[in-house]
Amino acid sequence: MRFVREHANINMTGKINLLDYDLNALGSYFNEIGDKSFRAQQVAKWIYHHGVVDYKLMTNLSKTLRRYLAENTIIKLPEIITEQRSEDGTRKWLVRIDDKNSVEMVFIPEDDRGTLCISSQIGCPLDCKFCSTAQQGFNRNLSTAEIIGQIWIANKTLGYFESGKRIITNIVFMGMGEPLLNYDNVLKTIHLLTDDLGFGLARRRVTVSTSGIIPGIDRLKDDANVSLAISLHASDNALRDSIVPINRSYPLADLLAACRRYSTGRAYATVTIEYVMLNGVNDSADDAHSLVKCLQGLSAKVNLIPFNKFPGTNYTCSNRTTINAFRDILIKAGIVTITRKTRGDDIDAACGQLVGKVMARAIRYQKNQVGQM
């Protein structure tokens, strides 16, 4: 057996973390070390179907291979530091990523689904004014292992591997960070989520939320074909420039054109528009009519999101009457619109409230820097 020690994804331990590889890369790895590519299928089933991360227990691998993997690779997972439970059943976990940084993820149980909201970066570089995560600053992208590891430890905690009953049915990249600025690692995570040898989720049950990174949207259309959510929050460039600064690089008309490209020719063509309701900022009848005009020609549904307060913010949430009036204007125009039910706000687990622990470093987003933060 010919074993090659040099490989690209070496971590600080000097060992390869196999969670950094999707199934194609894992098959290539086994070929590189002189074994058969089908070993990737065996190892993936142990990790993602059975929850086994100890090579000694992977009994359909030879002892020689198990010994080699133990000496040269690791299966390193993030670690849950704390758990909080909301009165509504929502669970929030603080997850240690490294010695200085942690992120948060949230599980939202409902009658017909269980949604896990995961993070893709430590902090966020985009500085959206109404988001607590953005106010923490930015440290770095998460690796594939650090992203898929969140899903693994959530499944473990919820009892999936022991029961075989799927508890997490939907994954949303709506936690900390801008997923399309960590494109390559997010894409590999999507592959592991949707592959039958990984977690086996349908593509429509995986949603990537973006503030509007157009190059990433166009790549995702060709590479993944998962559900897309757009953090829009304003229907004119002047307002969006001020509350979602990435709009200065990718203005509304260009962003909505990318959304139309994304929805064209897909098996399920709906794009979700996320719109946080900010009292006196973007919630007037004129704002609603302007949003209707923006969305013409786009197969889209709209989620109206009541703003969730966080320390230091001057924004407040629109009142229920205003939100209902805004919603009714959109519905009358033929746009499918719902008001998102706030979940987990009593444990700061609601939309825009995730903070984790971020050792921020000075960095500023540069246009077209997709996946290179």
Catalytic residue numbers, as ranges: 104, 351
User: Using CA atoms, how far apart are residues 226 and 229, in angstroms rounded to an integer?
Assistant: 10
| Strand ranges inside the chain, DSSP E | 16-17, 73-74, 79-85, 91-96, 102-109, 114-117, 121-123, 138-141, 170-173, 206-210, 227-231, 271-277, 300-306, 336-339
Structure tokens at 77: 């997972």
Cβ-contact 106, 175 below 8 angstroms: yes
| Strand ranges inside 110-232, DSSP E | 114-117, 121-123, 138-141, 170-173, 206-210, 227-231
User: Using CA atoms, how far apart are residues 43 and 134, in angstroms rounded to an integer?
Assistant: 37
Residues in the chain: 373
Task: Please identify which residue in the block is written with the tokens 């949707």.
Answer: 194
Cβ-contact 240, 207 below 8 angstroms: no
User: Using CA atoms, how far apart are residues 92 and 119, in angstroms rounded to an integer?
Assistant: 12
User: Using CA atoms, how far apart are residues 180 and 258, in angstroms rounded to an integer?
Assistant: 14
Name, in order, each residue with C-beta under 8 angstroms of 145's C-beta and a sequence gap of 6 or more: 17, 19, 20, 76, 77
Name, in order, each residue with C-beta under 8 angstroms of 149's C-beta and a sequence gap of 6 or more: 19, 76, 77, 78
Cβ-contact 228, 262 below 8 angstroms: yes
Query: What b/e string do you get for 303-323 counting C-beta neighbours within 10 Å, with b at 16 or more?
Result: bbbbbbbbeebebebbeeebb
Structure tokens at 200: 């086996």
Cβ-contact 137, 358 below 8 angstroms: yes
